[in-house]
């Protein structure tokens, strides 16, 4: 999941975030100012903990279109702001509203991500299952449904090579 940067000594981690293209696609993301967006609406405690505690500035993130035909990895983003309270949980008119979340005791968190690269050659879920280096990838684990998940450095590199 992590790789050390020999220049800074900082350990970089790799992640995968899922998005439904009918709700928010890589096409939508490319229209954002500076290609930067907040990653809101995550309502799973394990994924929330990753956003809040583990995703750090400079970490690289694979963008995965779920509930698509075919489901596929479509690009790479970078964490540009570490975890902070998800303000959509406080807005009673927002679909991600949570009445149990308050500004004093936020339940949900998000990060800001900047789109770095859109893949010309996308990697479908079926194709990923054929790449040996990805055999242990969380995305391919039966029953894996987390919307934010770790990716090993070797998996990240294999995907970059495939999509280049």
| Each residue's pLDDT tens digit, 53-95 | 999 999 999 999 999 999 999 999 999 999 999 999 999 999 9
Matching residue, tokens 């309270």: 85
Distance CA 47, CA 61 (A): 14
CA distances from 65 to 4, 58, 62, 72, 125 (A): 28, 22, 10, 5, 10
- What is the model's pLDDT at position 4? 54
Domain harbouring 53, CATH code: 3.10.590.10
Range of the domain at 118: 2-163
- What is the model's pLDDT at position 27? 96
The number of beta carbons lying within 10 Å of the beta carbon of residue 146 is 17
**Averaged pLDDT for residues 39-44:** 95
Tally the residues of the chain. Answer: 164
pTM confidence score: 0.92
- Residue 109 pLDDT exceeds 80: yes
The number of domains in the chain is 1
**Averaged pLDDT for residues 105-132:** 97
In our burial notation (b when 16+ CB lie closer than 10 A, e otherwise), range 122-145 reads bbebeebeebebbeebebeeeeee
């Amino acid at each position: 999941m992590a790789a050390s940067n020999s220049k800074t000594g900082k350990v970089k981690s790799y992640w995968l975030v899922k998005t439904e293209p009918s709700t928010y696609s890589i096409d939508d993301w490319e229209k954002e100012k500076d290609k930067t967006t907040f990653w809101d609406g995550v309502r799973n405690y394990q994924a929330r903990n990753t956003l809040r505690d583990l995703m750090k500035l400079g970490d690289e993130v694979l963008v995965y279109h779920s509930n698509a035909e075919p489901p596929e990895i479509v690009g790479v983003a970078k964490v540009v702001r570490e975890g902070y309270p998800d303000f959509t949980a406080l807005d009673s008119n927002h679909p991600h509203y949570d009445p149990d979340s308050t500004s004093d005791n936020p339940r949900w968190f998000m990060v800001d991500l900047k789109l770095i690269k859109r893949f010309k050659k996308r990697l479908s879920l079926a194709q990923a299952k054929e790449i040996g280096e990805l055999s242990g990838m969380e995305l391919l684990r039966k029953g894996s449904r987390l919307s934010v998940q770790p990716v090993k450095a070797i998996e990240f590199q294999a995907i970059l090579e495939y999509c280049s």
